[in-house]
Homo-oligomer: A and B are copies of this chain.
């Protein structure tokens, strides 16, 4: 793991902490360099052991550039709370964040089939068992990519704490307003017949 220059109390060198952060989110930001300039795009992703699986359209030019091995950085951030201190200076946020650096590789065939199923099941656990698998023409339109998780090529930082204690207690309130993401009632598509129950995968998603 990289040396963390700032706020070393927030960084972790434990791979399990990286995995926990990566597994808790569904969307991240992929960054690369195109013609010397920074290029970023939000992407759905899933962790598959020692790699991050991504997908995109085969028609997207910059993605093809990335899939061809350009150095990339994939960043995931979750805002977990607003940290309200005695002062503006000490007010901050609780968060979990991870950055994984490396070169993406594109892949196809059976490896792509299972990676895309994994990606779907990461977003909607159990969904791939409820519907048909991807058709050949769907696979042909999809760019499956993986970013390896290699030692020394990732950073994970977590802040999960009260505000810093003031040097002189003002007697005022300080603390944390926790934030969390919740799922609402599933909204059926317009063509779905009234009374059609959501599948088990969707019912489980709402309970998560």
Contacts and interface: CB of A to CB of B under 8 A. Distances in A.
* Size class of the contact patch on chain A: 35 or more
B44 A93 contact: yes
A131 B86 contact: yes
Interface string A58-89: 01110000000001110101010010101111
A87 B141 CA distance: 14
Nearest to A37: B71
A13 interface: no
Given A33-B38, A77-B42, A124-B91, A190 B162 contact: yes
Given A36-B33, A42-B97, A197 B173 contact: yes
A180 interface: yes
Interface of A: 5-6, 26-27, 29, 31-33, 36-42, 44, 57, 59-61, 71-73, 75, 77, 79, 82, 84, 86-89, 91-93, 95, 97, 99, 101, 116-117, 120, 123-124, 127-128, 131-135, 138, 141-142, 162-163, 165, 169, 171-193, 196-199, 201-202, 205-206
A133 to B, nearest CB: 7
Summarize A's interface: helix, strand, loop or mixed.
mixed
